[in-house]
A and B are shown apart, each in its own frame.
Chain A
Amino acid sequence: MKVLVIDDEPQIRRALRAGLERSGFTVMAAASGEEGLDIASTHPSDLVILDLAMPGTDGFEVCKELRKWSKVPIIVLSVRASEEDKIKALDLGADDYLTKPFGVGELLARIRAVLRRFSAAESDSAESIFKSGDLEVDFPHRQVTVSGQPVHLTPKEYDLLKCMIEYRNRVLTHRHLLTKVWGAEYADDTHTLRVHMANLRNKIEADPTRPRFIHTETRIGYRFRTDE
């Protein structure tokens, strides 16, 4: 697995290289947006880790440029309290984001989630049963059980759950979920999404104040977390 790290901070490049190589990744590093695009066009990689704030060509431009010719998964690094930046990067085609400062553990979890989804899409193999903790979803039979008890979900709730499991551990923007489940004309109807999500939570979470699966990413969307 080859990872391209684009960040102007040498110490961060060094730390990421050390952390990722220990987990078996081959790391290529670029110190600027231009260099990153250069490497990306000549050396194919399986994943790109991209800092949004860089002098010169910034992360947004790199993201936009990359997406013109590549489907490589992109994880962007952004600072706290900048939801707008995160949304912008996701809209430009980034797959997920990580807030600085972060631990290598978090980064590896994000990488795994993004790569899992990517390879699933490549091989086009849909799983038939999903199981995590008390939750079990049988896709062929559209059956959801919590602690062995069947739970009745409305069709929209079921579609939401299915979509989130498909993209588990990855951020899903409001827009993405609404487009997938309701259709493009409902892309801005976050209120509907919120109501359905609250109902779904009440049905599958044991304690909604300590959600196990459905986590809110304020102003951005949701993340379905599993232990994998």
Chain B
Amino acid sequence: MPSDRKENITRKLWRSHVFAFVASAAGVAGLTAIIQALHLDASVANVSMLYLLVVMLSALYLGRGPAIWASLLSFLSFDWFFVTPRYTFNVQGLAEWLALGMFLLTAMVTGQLTALLKARAMDAKRAQHETAVLAESSWAVASRLDTNSALLEVVRQVARVVDLQMAVVTSIDDDSKARLAAVDTLDTALSADRQKEIQELSCQLTEKLAATTDPLITLPDRFENRWSELPKEGAVCLQIAMNEKLLGIVYLQFGAGSTILTEQRHIIDSLVNHAAVILQRDNLMKRQAKAAALADADRLKTALLSMVSHDFRSPLTSIKASVSALLAEGEPLTAETQRGLCQGIELEADRLNSMVGNILDLSRLEADAWKPRFESTAVTELIGMALDLFNSDCNSRIIVSLDPCLIELYVDPVQMVQVLKNLVENALKYSNPDTRVEIRGSVENGSAIIDVLDRGRGLPSGEIDHIFEPFYRAEELQETSVPGVGIGLAVCRGLVEAHGGHVAAGNRPGGGAFFRVTLPLEQPTEAGDDNS
């Protein structure tokens, strides 16, 4: 198959050459016929000039070889037809010889000069094109931060220089695994199987290259490196490297029968260097993101440790104290005291359980491992489930008022109940037991709004922006006896944002705080089907 193609290409090339020579010969013959027919040699002083015209045209449109060919033919025709004695190649006298010689020389020189000029003009045009290609490519490198689209743009510039069927750029991950960075199929004629094959080949090769100790030298025989020659299948595989480090490869599948000139190779090499810059930048950005995530995790860990030392220890202390009081020897405790101590233990245990639950929720959220599972849920059902988690004393403090327009929400019921529970718990905790907590549901500007309102001490101004941050607790509340940690609200924010909504908080006129959850009313499109 490749040898067939090669033959085909040679034949095509040969045919175009033959055509050029035939065309220039035909030009000369045509001109001779016209001069003969119109007897121009009688009226025009120097018909040889007309032959020079044909030579120039040949040089301009057919190339150097045909121009020489036309000069020779013109010389012979002129001699045969128009130099006396006519219809012989005999020439009389030195002057005629000289004139003919001069004609041949002039024709040759004119032809070559014209051809040279034409080549120069072509060169200039190509240089201009190449400059434009490189400029656009470097613009893409500089302006497109998205690796895939920047690489695609570079590939598109390659396609402007050569006939490209398909390009595959692979990059190497930190664990030496190849990853498809960009794939562009410019020629739709390429079969899907072939496309897949090329992609797989690229990945295999990239991994093979990454595994070798000296990737810039060793290459499997199937591919060619650095343009040693065009491979049999009309494709090249170029390494993308920077500072002697292999970043990936680019596989270029050229159109059938295309040839790659040295200038084109140079420009493709430059474009590959652009790809190297893009991949290098991608690596650096990834490393930066990883470092930031690590720093985040570290911060969380520190906060968690300080929390365990304070917030976990205080319920544990009271449990330990109560239990040891129950176990202590000496005067027997009254039944009432025993009961009080046991109730205290149960309360503290519940508190610890709730804290552990919140920490687990937060870590699942931070690890992005708790995706909402959306289903249509009645708002009354949501609130009912949340209120169910509080005892009757707490429930008697809670008022619910619902806008009749707010019927159903498309949410994860488990997560939304958790949000409501944390907000209500927070409101109950930071307000006096004789005040009310209100849950108010309404619809505003196409969004569902759920407010949790209390008449507590309100939020310290200037700290409103921070209360949804993990482990935050208002400055003045720290080291006080009010239990809990700034983790419930962080969980709320995480969950609501995962639903495409947002949380807000502030102080109410007349005292107390409000916490507002805003949720989109319409189903998020990416949420998928109701799969409950």
Judge if B380 is at the interface, Cβ distance under 8 Å.
Answer: yes
Given contacts A191-B530, A216-B385, A218-B385, contact A209 B400 (CB under 8 A): yes
B381 adjacent to A83 (CB under 8 Å): no
Which residues of B are found within 8 Å of A209, using beta-carbon distances?
Answer: 380, 383-384, 387, 400, 402
Residues of B within 8 A of A191 (CB): 376, 530
Pick the residue among A80, A83, A211 that contacts B384 (CB under 8 A).
Answer: A211
Cα distance A194–B532 in the bound complex, in angstroms: 11
B532 CB to nearest A CB, Å: 5
Interface SS of chain B: helix, strand, loop or mixed? helix
Residue A208 is within 8 A (CB to CB) of chain B in the complex: yes
CB contacts under 8 Å to B, within A161-210, are: 174, 190-191, 194, 198, 201, 207-210
CA distance A139 to B380 in the complex (A): 29
Query: A80-B357, A191-B530, A209-B400 given as contacts; is B414 within 8 A of A215 (CB)?
Result: no
Shortest CB-to-CB span from B379 to chain A, Å, is 8
Asked, given contacts A80-B357, A190-B532, whether A103 binds B384 with beta carbons under 8 Å apart, the answer is no
Which residues of chain B from 351 to 402 have any CB-CB distance to chain A below 8 Å in the complex? 353, 357, 360, 373, 376, 378, 380-381, 383-385, 387-388, 395, 400, 402
Residues of A within 8 A of B387 (CB): 209-210
Q: Is the CB of A101 closer than 8 A to any CB of chain B?
A: yes
Please measure, in the bound complex, the distance between the C-alpha atom of A101 and the C-alpha atom of B349, giving whole angstroms: 9
Contact between chains at A210 and B413 (CB < 8 Å): no
Q: Does B28 contact A (CB under 8 A)?
A: no
CB distance from A107 to the nearest CB of B (A): 14
In the complex, which residues 390-423 of chain B have their Cβ closer than 8 Å to any Cβ of chain A?
395, 400, 402, 413-414, 417
B384 touches A218 (CB 8 A): no
Contact with B along A145-172 (1 / 0, CB 8 A): 0000000000000000000000000000
Q: Identify the closest chain A residue to B530 (Cβ).
A: A191
**Shortest Cβ distance from B360 into A: residue:** A81
Contact of B532 among A207, A211, A219 (CB under 8 A): A219
Say whether B384 contacts A208, CB under 8 Å.
Answer: yes
Query: How many angstroms between the C-alpha atoms of A174 and B395 in the bound complex?
Result: 28
The closest CB in chain B to the CB of A103 belongs to: B346
State the CA gap A65–B346 with chains docked (Å).
35
User: Is A208 in contact with B346, judged by CB distance below 8 angstroms?
Assistant: no
The contact string, 1 if C-beta is below 8 Å from chain B, for chain A 207-225, is: 1111100011011000000
Evaluate whether A216 and B414 lie within 8 angstroms (CB atoms) in the complex, with A80-B357, A210-B387 already known. Answer: no
Residues in A whose Cβ lies below 8 Å from that of B385 = 215-216, 218
Chain A 29-41 per-residue mask, 1 if CB under 8 angstroms from chain B, else 0 = 0000000000000
Partner of A210, one of B376, B395, B530: B395
A207 → B minimal CB distance (Å)? 8
Evaluate contact between A101 and B353: CB separation under 8 angstroms.
yes
Given contacts A81-B360, A209-B402, contact A216 B384 (CB under 8 A): yes
Give per-residue flags for A17-54: 1 if the beta carbon is below 8 A from chain B beta carbons, else 0: 00000000000000000000000000000000000000
Closest CB-CB distance, A88 to chain B, in whole Å? Answer: 16
Complex: A101 Cα to B532 Cα, angstroms = 26
Residue count of chain A within 8 Å CB distance of chain B: 20
Taken together as a complex, chains A and B put the C-alpha atoms of A80 and B359 apart, in Å, by: 13
Q: How far in angstroms is the closest Cβ of chain A from B55?
A: 87
Q: Are B380 and A215 in contact (CB under 8 A)?
A: no
Within 8 A of A (CB), among B453-472: none
Please give the distance in Å from A193's CB to the nearest CB on chain B: 10
Contacts of B384 in A (CB 8 A): 208-211, 215-216
Q: Evaluate whether A83 and B414 lie within 8 angstroms (CB atoms) in the complex, with A101-B353, A209-B387, A215-B388 already known.
A: yes
Residue of B nearest to A208 (CB): B380
Complex alpha-carbon distance, A174 and B384, angstroms: 19
Distance between A108 CB and nearest chain B CB, rounded to angstroms: 15
**Hey, which chain B residues are within 8 Å of A210, CB to CB?**
384, 387, 395, 400
Taking the closest CB of chain A, its distance from the CB of B358, in whole angstroms, is: 11
Minimum C-beta distance from B405 to chain A (A): 16
Q: How far is the CA of A175 from the CA of B380 in the complex (A)?
A: 23
Q: Indicate whether A218 sits within 8 Å of B388 (C-beta atoms), given known contacts A101-B349, A191-B530, A209-B380.
A: no
Complex CA–CA separation, A210 to B384 (angstroms): 5
List which A85-132 residues lie within 8 A (CB) of chain B. Answer: 101, 103
Q: Report the Cα distance A209→B417, complex, angstroms.
A: 12
B249-289 with Cβ < 8 A to chain A: none
Bound together, the chains give a CA A198 to CA B384 distance in angstroms of: 12
Scan residues 75-117 of chain B and give those whose CB is less than 8 A from a CB of chain A: none
Q: How far is the CB of A176 from chain B (nearest CB, A)?
A: 15
Given contacts A101-B349, A198-B378, A209-B384, contact A218 B414 (CB under 8 A): yes
Instruction: Tell me the minimal C-beta distance from B437 to chain A in angstroms.
Output: 14
| CB-defined contacts of B400 to chain A, threshold 8 Å | 207, 209-210
What's the Cα separation between A103 and B391 when bound, in Å? 14
The docked-state distance in angstroms from the alpha carbon of A208 to that of B378 is 10
Chain A nearest CB: distance from B490 CB in Å? Answer: 17
Shortest Cβ distance from residue B378 to the other chain A in the assembled complex, whole angstroms: 6
Most chain A CB neighbours (cut-off 10 Å) among B357, B384, B414:
B384
With known contacts A81-B360, A103-B346, A218–B417 Cβ distance under 8 A: yes
A194 to B407, CA, bound (A): 13
What residues of chain B lie closer than 8 Å to A201, measured between beta carbons? Answer: 380
State in angstroms the CA–CA spacing of A130 and B380 once bound together: 26
Closest Cβ of chain B to A136, distance in Å, is 23
Set of chain A residues within 8 Å of B376, measured between Cβ atoms: 191, 194
6 A-B pairs with the lowest CB-CB distances in the bound complex, closest first: A208-B380, A209-B383, A209-B400, A218-B413, A209-B380, A209-B384
Known: A198-B378, A209-B380, A209-B383. 19 other contacts (CB 8 A): A81-B357, A101-B349, A191-B530, A194-B376, A194-B378, A198-B381, A201-B380, A208-B381, A209-B400, A209-B402, A210-B387, A210-B395, A210-B400, A215-B384, A216-B381, A216-B384, A216-B385, A216-B413, A218-B414
Binding site for A on B (CB under 8 A): 346, 349, 353, 357, 360, 373, 376, 378, 380-381, 383-385, 387-388, 395, 400, 402, 413-414, 417, 530, 532
Can you list 23 A-B pairs with a CB-CB distance of less than 8 A? A80-B357, A81-B360, A101-B349, A103-B346, A191-B376, A194-B376, A194-B378, A198-B378, A198-B381, A208-B380, A208-B381, A209-B383, A209-B387, A209-B400, A210-B400, A211-B384, A215-B385, A215-B388, A218-B413, A218-B414, A219-B373, A219-B413, A219-B414
